[in-house]
Structures are given as structure tokens and as C-alpha cells.
Structure 1
Amino acid sequence: MKKIVYLLMAFTLVFTTACDPMEDVYDEIGDIEKVITGDVAFELSDDDYDFLEQGYGNFSSTDDAKELIPALLEDKYPVWGAGSLAAVTFKLYNPKRTEKSLVVYKVASSDYADLGFTYGNFSSFEQIVTFLDWKYPNPADRVLVALTYKYYNGSVNTVKNGFIYVSGEWQFLQGFTRDEYNQMGENYDNFTSKTVAEKRIPIFLKDYLKYETVETGDIQPIMYNIYQTDYDDIDGDGKTDDKTAYSYAFYCIFDGNAWVEYENIINETIQFGNDGSVWVPDNTINYTLTAADYELVGNGRYGNFDVRAGKAEETEEVRLEKINTILLNNFPASEEGQKYSVDYNVYSGAAEVWNMKVILSGGAYVLQ
């Protein structure tokens, strides 16, 4: 009986003092933190604006967007960590102001002379602004000046364009010639109504600007004329029951295919990056080295960097120097603070793809 007790005690001792053979493995796994990253581009939906409590379905400033969108990204991508990127397109309220008052004026010969324009014309926007500041030293906000003047651009022509004063500066609005009004179906250098004008102008612009380089989101400011009752005595004849030409500001935006009336909303895109704890605005550009890039820095034969011990690109400093050469060559217009996440091929005994994150600082790229 005593022997059995000793055996049981010994058996129990073995089990109470033995180690779990997987314990060290579990500890190592626990020490490894797997970072999940992602890269996405999307446009905010109505539901997204509701989540962000933006009742009008747009933001009033880019600062508001930068402040609020990170909460949405945290909700959409809760498991994404450091290095994740999200390019978010959103609607931004960006009003273009129309006129509150109107002045119609034709520049006289004496005006050019008084300002020292000896050729009797203007030849730049800056010269016109000089005249406007001289003629109207204290303009009312959003006053529209429908200005007829002589302009030199290879030859001297008399033109009529608009200049609207908004938030302390003069802004140009393109006017139309009589021939251009004729092309839009009018007999004179004006429209018969706003409805007609704002329907025909966007259609006309596609042909009018066909030789210009235009991109989606470009805004074209326009001034057009309507022949109407002169309620404000714009022509200065002392009568308010006759008719004369009134000028109006109008804006069109190119949607990628056609010109349409601008409704004070533009699309903006901001890229956000996850820094490991929060989403922040981030200008990182993802870039993968090409065959031409390797050729540029003397690695064209194999199209990679040799990072084996004792080889040319073993050290990070050498690889950074070569990536500097490539980025400065390929993107000479990059501004201070621009970030790149660069994927490049290496040979370490096996073919691999490594990554280097850099930022432009003081004219050179440094590690982030």
C-alpha cells in the first residue's frame, strides 16, 4: 500500500513540475504583432455624409474634411494599421460669386494717357487691374464692371469683358463678341433672357474652348449681356423705363465630357495615411521602380539591388542614395515634404521585393 502511494506521489510530481513544450512557441507568437495594411480609393456616399453629420452632403472647407474623415476611416477599416492609405474624394462647397451691382464703362483715350499707357491700349491683365484700382479706388464687394477697352495681343482689338471685385481682388470674366453671340443664335451682342443664356453658353463652350487644354473640374468664368429694362439707369440717361444691355456673371465647370452650369460644388481628393494609431492627411505616393530606373543607377542588367553581404547595395545608405537619384530624376517638380513609398527588387540569395519610405527634405530624400 505504501508503495502505491509513493508511485502516485512521484507521478503527480512529474506532471506538476514538467514544462509545456509549446510554451516558448506561444510566447514568441504573442510577441509578433501582425500589422494589416490596405490601400483604398473611394468617394463619400450619402451614408458617409450622414455618419459625419454633414447634412448638406458636402464640406464647407478642406480643414473640416481633414478633421472629420479620419473617424469615418476608423469605422470603415478598424483593423488596418500603420502604412495604410486611403484616397478619399468628397464634395466641397466652393462658391463663385455673382454680381451684386453693375458698372458699365468704356475706357477713354484720356484714361490710357493719364496712366502712362502711351500706345492707347492694355496688353496684360495686370495693366487692366492698375486701371481698375485707379478708376474705382473703393469698389463695393461683388461689383461687376462690364469694361470695353482696347487690348493688344499681336494686334489691337476692342473687347468687352467683365471684372468682378470679390474679397479684395479683381477677377476676370470672359465676355463674348457679337459674332460669338450670333453663333449662339442671337442677332445682337446680347441674349433675350437668362434662361436662354444659361442654356446655350455651356453648349457653346465645348467648341469655343476646343483648342484649350481643359481638365475635369476646370471652371470657366463668363460675363454675358441681356437686353432688358434699365431699372437702375445703367446707361446714365436719367430714364428707368427704357432698355439697355445689362451684364451678368455666370460660371461653367467641365465635368470631363461637357461644360455644365457650375453649382458651387467641386470634388476634392485628400489622401489619408494610418500612422499606427490614427488616420492623418498624408501625401504619400506609392511607386515601384521600373527597368529604366534600375538602368539609371547602374543596375539594369539584373533589374534589382544586390543586398547580400559584401555586395554593392548591402547597406541601406547605398540603396537610399540610388532611390534619391531615381526620384529626383523622375519627379523634379515634387515639393518639400512630398513622401514616397518605394517598392524595389532585391537579391538576397533569393528574389524579394523590399520597401523604403522617404520624404523630400532640404532638396534630398531622407528616410521617414
Structure 2
Amino acid sequence: MKRIFYCLAILGVTFVGCNPMDDIYGDLDTSADPIVGSESYTLTADDYADLELGFGSFSSEEDAKTMLPGFLADKYPFWGQGSSVLVGYQLYVGSAEGVSDFTSSDVYNFTNSDYATTGSDAFGFYPDVNATDEIPAILDAQIAAPTEGQVVLAKYAHYTEVPVVGLADLVSYNFAGSFEGWSAVEEYGADEVWTSETGNVRGNGYFGDQETNAEWLVSPSIDLTDESDLKFQITQELDFAIDASLVKILVSTDYTDDVFTATWDEITLAMPATEDMAPSEDYDFSAYDGETINIAFKYTSIGDDESTPDVDEGDASRWRIQSLAIKTVGATGDRNFKGEYFMYSGGSWEAVEGVYYLSSDDYDSMGEGSGQPGQYNNFSSSLSPDNYLPTFLNLNFPYAQEDEELVIVYDYFSSSSGAQRRGNFYTVSGGEFVGHESTISTTLQFGYDNGLWVPDNTIRYTFGPADYAAVATALGDIYPNATSSMSNYGNMDRRAGNSAEWTNAMVLEAINVVLDINVPSAAEEQKYVITVEVYNGSNTTEDFAVIKMGGEWVYQN
């Protein structure tokens, strides 16, 4: 029986002692003199990962107040009552207010007929035309039943030079070194008929001998909506052809990715040039005014019959195409593609002030090379607007005044969601344009109170020489010995019963003097921990926790 008793006793000790740290933590929390720490700490990337914040920021201050106490408990397990940590963190505040009104607005794209109503015979406004004055009438005519407050981005072209009026390219393809988005479709034959060459695309059926092949080269969809009086021209060369009808230029209005089910019309031009490239005549293409079409080049070659080696039945021409253009009566000249915002207000369209949409020339001014905004006239995830827009604005708005505000809207390409409009709010600060930041660096103060980390507005402040001087001036007549000693030694004598003693009540009076001078507009319930140089037999410091209540600073309970 005695042996069993001892075993149980040992087991009992084992069970009780399996988590000794719990007792240590409990002792620390309830100790009369707990570890009181004070620190400033900024969250790291690893901290955000531990908090499962994949974007490296909090979505609201409330989230930070909810999540950080547990984080602090793990990081400072031995700190007790009266401890404080100022936590620096990233806070997502979102886009500037009002920017989405413009990035998500309706868009109206001007057509040639719109320009014509203003007297233009070209594909845009002439250089001397004030587009802002012309746009409201066009919006009135084109937007049915606008609503009060409706915002529209009017996108248009503005010539930078007087255009040359005549036939102008509406759609053009330059095949020098590129298929320009056209697709090869094999009908029969084993050879790759269509190839991209340095100066053209080439259809060819000769591969050491004439081979039997039929292969199409089909254009992307071409939208000719609202276009009229169209002409067609091709620059080509046809060599070694016996039967020129084996090469065809075809047009379809119902092509849907299957050349064999679509309806095709043949374009019959004069005999192509041989040995040298030459443009065709301007072929009447008006049958396709207003249509959406696809164009195809169909190449067919006939191979030799191997059973009759003495007879040449083959026909394998070389068809080279340099360029193609669909034209209309218009103008040729450099254009700047712009946009302006208008709001429908009180029955009319009014230009919106304080917002600017980047034009094609604006992007070009930031660089037209590879990896620069002017290459595709947009920004992207690899081409941040923040790296360009402040400089652009400082150069283009040099007379902007301090605190002047401007919304900038720009085109943006996202690899995940495609083309879109984005924008930001810029303010002139210190003579420079500064953009609104959707994620900001900020801080939250936390204090350890009754076993928990809680959000705390406590500010820590240490008395300096000017503060001691202010106290001596304000309280010198009331406490001459204490203030004289303080002025001589730069500290407060805290020895009980000494003639120069600073009691707790006297220290509180001194704190009121200093805080009323330094923070006269401090809010109710604002907390401070004031550090003061003291002498209690040796030189040291002492902290005093106060809170503003009823307009006065009192000790915290």
C-alpha cells in the first residue's frame, strides 16, 4: 500500500508541474512590480505573413485594433501592467474620394460623322478648333435621355498640324516582318505556304519543285461601322504565275473562324505587277460601307504529275504582299488622341474642372521606347504611373499653386483583367505634385491593462530644460524651495520630508503647467506618461501617468 501511495504522489507532482511557465506568467502578471516595458515596433513582412495578411497591410484601423493585441501578447509575454508599445503598420485607405466617378464613367467615342457636324472634313478636329466648345452639342445629339449628374468621358482626335485632305488610310496593314495578326488556315497540302519575310508576307508553292497546296491567310475582324465611301488598295507582286486566278483576294461579312462555312466575295483587281512591288488601283470598296468584315488571301498551287516527267503541269507562283489599306475620303496628318470629362447639369453638358485625362501625346512625352508609357499609351503593373506622373505634372503644370488639387485619369493594362481606366488625386505640396497613397504608414499605441493589450492613446513625453524653466516661472512663488532646487540641479527632489520635496500633488501641478503650454488643445481623455528627472538619494527618472478630464490633467487610476 505504501508503494502505491508514493507512485501516485510522484505522478501528481508530474501532472502539476507539466506547464511551469503558466505559473511564471501568472506570477509576472500579478506581481507588485511587474516588468514594465515601452517600445516602438514596426511590423515586418514576416509579421504580416504570420497575421495572414497577404497584401502586407490592414484593411481598416479596426482590424488592426482587433488583431494586434494577440500579436503583442506573443511578442512580449513577460511584460505586465503599465507597459506600452507604439506599433507602426501599413493601412490600406483605398482610392481618393471622387476618383471613381471618373474612372467608371460612361465613354463616348467621336466618329467621323461627329467631326463633320462641326465642319471638319477630316478624322478629327482641326488644330485651331476649341474641342471643349464643340463637344456639348455633339453629346446633346448622341446621348439620349441623359440624367442629372451623369459624367461622360468624350474621347476624340485633334490634329496637331493642318491635315492634307484626300483619300486617307482608315485601316492599314504593313506586312514587313509581321503577319499583323493575320492567321494561316490550311485547306490541303503538306507545306507551309504563307511565311513572313523581311519586307512582306509571301505565298509560295515551290519547295524544290512545284507542290500541290491551298492555304488561306485571314485577317482579324475589321469594323467599318459608320464608315462610308470606302476604297481598297493592296501593294503586291506576283511572279512565276501561269494562271493568276489561283491567287485570290476575298472578303466575308459572316466569317466566324471557319473559312469553309463563310460566304466570300472575290475582289478583282488589275493584273498584279511582276518582278517589283506596285500598289493596285483604289478599288471601290463601298459595298462594305458600315460592315464588319474579314479579308483573306487564298493561295493555290498545282504540283507536277510524277507520272509524266516530261510534261510540266505545275503552277506554283510566288505571291508577295507588302501592305494593304482600306481608305476613305478624309485627311492625313498627325493627331493627338484626347479625352475630356463632361457632366450633365441643369439641362446641359458642362466641362468638368479639376480632372485631366492623359492623351496619346502625354504618354509619348514620357518615352516611346520599349517599356515606356508611349510604347502602348498606357501604364501597367510593370510600368507604374507613380514613377512618371509626378514629374509629368510638375513639367506640364508649372504654375500650379500650393494646395491646388487635380484628378489624373489614365489608361492601365492589367494582365489579369485587361484594359481599364485608373486614376489618382494629386495635390501640390511644397511646390511639388504629390499623389494620394492608397496604403499609408501609420501607428497605433497599445497599453497592457489588467492582463490584456488594449488600444491606448497614451503619449510619452520627457521634461526638457524649457519645461523645467516654465515650471519654475509658474510655481516659483508658491514653492520657492522646490523650484529653486529644481532649477539648480535640473531635477525634482522626491525625498519625503525634505524642504525641497516635490510631492505627488506638486508634480501634478507642474505637469499641468507643461502640458497646457505644449498641448493646449489636447482632447478629453488624452493620456500622457510624463518622465521627469528626480533625486531620491540618487539621480534617476520617474514616470507619471496622467489623463485629461474636465479640462484638467489628473493622475490615472
Q: Specify the code of the residue in structure 1 equivalent to 2:553.
A: Y
Q: Distance in 2 between matches of 1:204 and 1:222?
A: 9
1:327 partner amino acid: L
Shift in Å, 1:359: 1.5
- SS at the partner of 1:322? helix
Q: Secondary structure at the match of 1:295?
A: helix
How far off is 1:52 after superposition? 2.7
Show the counterpart of 1:203. Answer: 388
Moved more, 65-74 or 89-98: 89-98
Counterpart of 1:66 in structure 2 is 65
| TM-score, length basis structure 2 | 0.38
Distance 1:248 1:106, change over 3 A: farther
**Alpha-carbon shift at residue 321 of structure 1 (Å):** 1.1
CA distance in 2, matches of 1:267, 1:102: 34
d(CA) in 2 for partners of 1:212, 1:320: 47
1:150 matched residue in structure 2: none
Structure 2, gaps ≥5 residues long = 1-29, 109-130, 135-145, 155-338, 344-351, 368-373, 413-419, 473-482
Report the Cα offset of residue 290 of structure 1: 0.7
Alignment of 1:334 onto 2:522? yes
Cα distance, 1:32 vs. partner? Answer: 5.8
Q: Which amino acid aligns with 1:86?
A: V
Mapped partners of 1:193, 1:248: distance in 2: 12
Is 1:305 equivalent to 2:492 in the alignment?
yes
Contact 1:162 1:223 in 2 (8 A): no
Q: State the Cα RMSD in Å.
A: 4.9
Change (3 A) 1:312 1:57: same
The amino acid across from 1:286 in the alignment is R
Give the match for residue 76 of structure 1.
Answer: 75
What's 2:468 paired with?
294
Q: Is the CA contact 1:307–1:315 (under 8 Å) kept in the aligned structure 2? A: yes
Q: Report if the CA contact (8 A) 2:491-2:534 is conserved.
A: yes
Name the CA distance, whole Å, in 2 between partners of 1:249 and 1:221. Answer: 11
| Residue type at the aligned position of 1:346 | V
Q: Which runs of 5+ in 1 are unaligned?
A: 1-30, 109-134, 147-159, 165-170, 227-246
CA change 1:313–1:184 in 2 (3 A) is farther
Query: Residues 134-173 of structure 1 correspond to what in structure 2 (within 5 A)?
Result: 137=148
Other-structure match for 1:194: 378
Asked whether the 8 Å contact 1:223–1:249 carries over to 2, the reply is yes
1:343 aligns with 2:531: yes
Q: Does 1:353 align with 2:541?
A: yes
The answer for the alignment partner of 1:11 in structure 2 is: none
| Distance of 2:453 and 2:426 partners within structure 1 | 32
Q: Summarize the Cα distance change of 1:252–1:87 in structure 2 as closer, same or farther, 3 Å threshold.
A: farther
**Separation in 2 of the partners of 1:358 and 1:172?**
50
Q: Which has the larger radius of gyration?
A: 2
Normalised to the residue count of structure 1, the TM-score between the two structures is: 0.55
What is the one-letter code of the residue matched to 1:338?
A: Q
Distance 1:51 1:324, change over 3 A: same
Task: Give 1:145 deviation, angstroms.
Answer: 7.1
**Alignment match, 1:363:** 551
Query: What CA deviation, in whole Å up to 9, does each residue of 1:161-185 have, x standing for no partner?
Result: 9799xxxxxx99553899x959945
How far apart are the structure 2 equivalents of 1:223 and 1:251? 7
Structure 1 residues 92 and 76, CA gap change in structure 2 (3 angstroms): same
Q: Secondary structure at the match of 1:86?
A: strand
Distance 1:364 1:306 in 2: 24
- Taking the aligned partners of 2:54 and 2:366, their CA distance within structure 1 comes to 41
Aligned to 2:508: 320
Once the 2 structures are TM-superposed, how far is the Cα of residue 93 of structure 1 from its aligned partner? Answer: 2.8
**Matched length:** 263
Q: Contact between 1:59 and 1:65, CA under 8 Å: does it hold in 2?
A: yes
Alignment check: 8 A CA contact 1:161 1:223 kept: no
Which position in structure 1 is the counterpart of 2:445? 271
Amino acid in structure 2 at the alignment position of 1:101:
S
Per-residue deviation at 1:270?
Answer: 1.2
Structure with bigger helix share is 1
Q: What is the aligned partner in structure 1 of residue 408 from structure 2?
A: 222
Among 342, 356, 378, which residue is 1:175 paired with?
Answer: 356
Whole-angstrom CA distance in 2 between matches of 1:287 and 1:172 = 46
Deviations 1:320-357 (A, max 9, x none): 11111111212234332221111112234443322111
SS at match of 1:33: coil
Cα distance in 2, alignment partners of residues 263 and 288 from structure 1:
33
1:290-323: CA deviations, max 9, x gaps? 1111011114333222334264553212211111
1:253 Cα deviation after fit = 8.7
Q: Secondary structure at the match of 1:319?
A: helix
1:303 and 1:85 mapped to 2: Cα distance?
27
Aligned to 1:40: 39
What percentage of residue pairs aligned between the two structures are identical?
A: 33
